[in-house]
C-alpha cells in the first residue's frame, strides 16, 4: 500500500489525522491556532511532533516556507471553523469572521496543489457549497460533497457533518471523486450498530465535584486525570476503538462541579427526559421559558445513540446527563462516544478537554475516510 503524504490544517486535537497516523501514513504538517490542541496532538503522536505546529493559518499562508510542499502532497485535509453556520449556535452569527476561514483553507490549497482535498464542516456550510465547489474548480479541482451521519459508521451519536472531497483535474478526476464517496458509502455494510451503554462500558462510577472552581485538587469520588484501570473487561465497541490493544490506565475520567439544584434535576429526570419533564417542573430554573430551553437539560438513554457531542460541553454538560448517574458526562465518556481510544490523552483544563473532543472528527469515521482514500491513491 502506498503511503499517503498528508497535511492537516485546523487539525484540533487530531481526530481527522488519527487513523492516517495509526496506519503509518506520512504526516508532513499539522497546524492549529489553539496551543492546547497542539499540545494534545504532540502528546499522542510524539514521533511527528516536529511537524505539528501552533500557528495562525493566515500567517502561515504568507510564509514562503510552505512552498516546499507544492505538488508533493497527496492529501490536504481539515475542518475550518465556521461557528456561524452551526445549528448548535442559536445566535447564528453569520458575520462571524471565522466563517471565512474556509477561504483561507482554499488559499492554502491553491499554494500546495495536493493531489486530493478533504474538508469537514457543520451542516450549515451547505449554504456555501456552491461557492466552495466553484472556488475549487477555479484552482483546478473537481469536487463534490456529501452529508455523512456518524452513527451509520458505528459511532454512538447523532452527528451529521458535510464532507467535501476534491481531486486535481484530469480525465479521471470526476470518477475518482465518485469512487471515494462510493467507498465511503460501501463501508457502512461492515460497521456495527452501537449505543451509549456500549461506549460507557466499564468506566468507574463517579459523583460531581463538590467544590466550585477547584481545579488543582483531585478526589477519588469525582475521578482523576490519570487512573489505573480496575480490570480489563471490554466489549466489541471498546475493542474496536482501542484497536484490540489494552490500556492499563483511564485518562480524563473526571466529573465536573454541579450545584445542588442541578444534581437534583439530574437525579429526578428519567432517561430521555428534558427540561419540560413533569418531574422537574417545580425546580426547573427556566420554567417560564420551557419551550425556549427545552434542551437545557437532557438525560441520555443507555439503549440509544447520543446527541451530537459539541464544544458547548466546555460550559456545562446539562444536555449530556449520564443515563444512570446524577452528573454530566466526563471528558473520557464524551471521548468514548466520539470513538477516541482509551489511551488518547487530552491536555488542558476540563473545559479545554471538552472543547477539543467536541470539535474533533470521530477517529472511527477517520478510519473509513482513510480506507476510502487508500483505495484511490495510486
175 and 259, same structural domain? no
Task: Tally the domains of the chain.
Answer: 2
CATH number at residue 150: 3.40.50.150
Residue 252 CB-density burial (10 A; 0-12 exposed, 13-18 middle, 19+ buried): buried
98 and 16, same structural domain? yes
pLDDT of residue 96: 53
214 and 354, same structural domain? yes
Residues of the chain with pLDDT under 70: 82-99, 286-293
14 and 92, same structural domain? yes
Asked if residue 157 lies in contact with residue 308, where contact means CB atoms within 8 angstroms, the answer is: yes
Q: How far apart are CA 17 and CA 23, in angstroms?
A: 10
254 and 149, same structural domain? no
Segment 206-239, tens digit of pLDDT: 999 988 888 888 999 999 999 998 788 999 999 9
102 and 168, same structural domain? yes
Q: How far apart are CA 310 and CA 123, in angstroms?
A: 13
Segment 252-303, tens digit of pLDDT: 999 999 999 999 999 999 999 999 899 998 887 766 655 556 778 999 999 9
- Torsion angles phi and psi, residue 294, rounded to 5: -55, -40
304 and 169, same structural domain? no
Beta-carbon contacts of 46 under 8 Å, excluding residues fewer than 6 positions away, are none
222 and 172, same structural domain? no
DSSP string, 117-154: EEEEE-GGGGGGHHHHHHHHHHTTEEEEEEEEEGGGGT
207 and 128, same structural domain? no
Residue 318 CB-density burial (10 A; 0-12 exposed, 13-18 middle, 19+ buried): buried
CATH number at residue 274: 3.90.120
349 and 280, same structural domain? yes
Cell of 373: 482514500
210 and 180, same structural domain? no
115 and 228, same structural domain? no
Which residue reads 464542516 in cell numbers? 121
Residue 118's beta-bridge partner residues?
77, 165
Asked if residue 201 lies in contact with residue 235, where contact means CB atoms within 8 angstroms, the answer is: yes
Its pTM stands at: 0.93
pLDDT of residue 83: 57
Q: What's the domain range around 16?
A: 5-189+365-374
Amino acid at each position: 500500500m502506498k503511503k499517503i503524504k498528508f497535511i492537516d490544517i485546523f487539525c484540533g486535537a487530531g481526530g481527522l489525522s488519527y487513523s492516517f497516523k495509526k496506519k503509518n501514513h506520512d504526516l508532513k504538517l499539522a497546524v492549529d491556532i489553539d496551543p492546547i490542541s497542539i499540545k494534545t496532538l504532540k502528546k499522542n503522536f510524539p514521533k511527528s511532533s516536529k511537524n505539528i505546529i501552533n500557528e495562525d493559518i493566515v500567517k502561515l499562508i504568507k510564509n514562503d516556507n510552505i512552498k516546499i510542499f507544492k505538488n508533493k502532497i497527496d492529501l490536504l485535509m481539515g475542518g475550518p471553523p465556521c461557528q456561524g453556520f452551526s445549528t448548535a449556535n442559536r445566535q447564528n452569527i453569520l458575520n462571524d469572521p471565522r466563517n471565512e476561514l474556509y477561504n483561507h483553507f482554499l488559499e492554502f490549497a491553491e499554494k500546495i496543489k495536493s493531489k486530493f482535498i478533504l474538508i469537514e464542516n457543520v451542516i450549515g456550510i451547505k449554504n456555501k457549497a456552491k461557492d466552495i465547489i466553484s472556488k475549487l474548480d477555479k484552482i483546478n479541482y473537481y469536487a463534490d460533497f456529501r452529508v455523512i451521519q456518524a452513527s451509520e459508521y458505528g459511532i454512538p451519536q447523532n452527528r451529521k457533518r458535510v464532507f467535501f472531497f476534491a481531486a486535481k483535474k484530469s480525465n479521471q478526476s470526476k470518477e475518482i471523486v465518485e469512487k471515494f464517496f462510493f467507498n465511503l458509502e460501501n463501508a457502512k455494510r461492515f460497521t456495527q450498530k452501537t449505543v451509549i451503554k456500549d461506549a460507557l462500558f466499564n468506566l468507574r462510577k463517579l459523583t460531581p465535584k463538590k467544590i466550585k472552581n477547584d481545579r488543582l485538587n483531585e478526589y477519588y469520588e469525582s475521578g482523576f486525570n490519570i487512573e489505573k484501570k480496575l480490570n480489563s473487561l471490554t466489549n466489541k465497541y471498546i475493542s474496536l476503538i482501542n484497536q484490540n490493544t489494552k490500556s492499563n490506565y483511564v485518562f480524563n475520567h473526571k466529573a465536573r462541579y454541579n450545584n445542588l439544584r442541578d444534581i437534583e434535576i439530574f437525579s429526578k429526570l428519567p432517561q430521555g427526559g428534558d427540561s419540560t419533564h413533569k418531574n422537574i417542573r417545580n425546580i426547573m430554573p427556566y420554567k417560564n421559558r420551557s419551550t425556549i430551553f427545552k434542551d437545557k437539560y437532557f438525560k441520555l438513554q443507555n439503549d440509544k445513540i447520543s446527541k451530537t457531542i459539541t464544544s458547548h460541553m466546555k460550559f456545562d454538560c446539562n444536555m449530556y446527563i449520564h443515563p444512570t448517574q446524577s452528573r454530566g458526562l466526563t471528558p473520557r465518556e464524551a471521548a468514548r462516544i466520539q470513538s477516541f481510544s482509551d489511551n488518547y490523552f487530552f491536555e488542558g483544563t476540563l473545559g479545554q478537554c471538552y472543547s477539543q473532543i467536541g470539535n474533533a472528527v470521530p477517529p472511527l469515521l477517520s478510519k473509513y475516510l482513510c480506507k476510502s482514500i487508500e483505495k484511490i491513491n495510486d
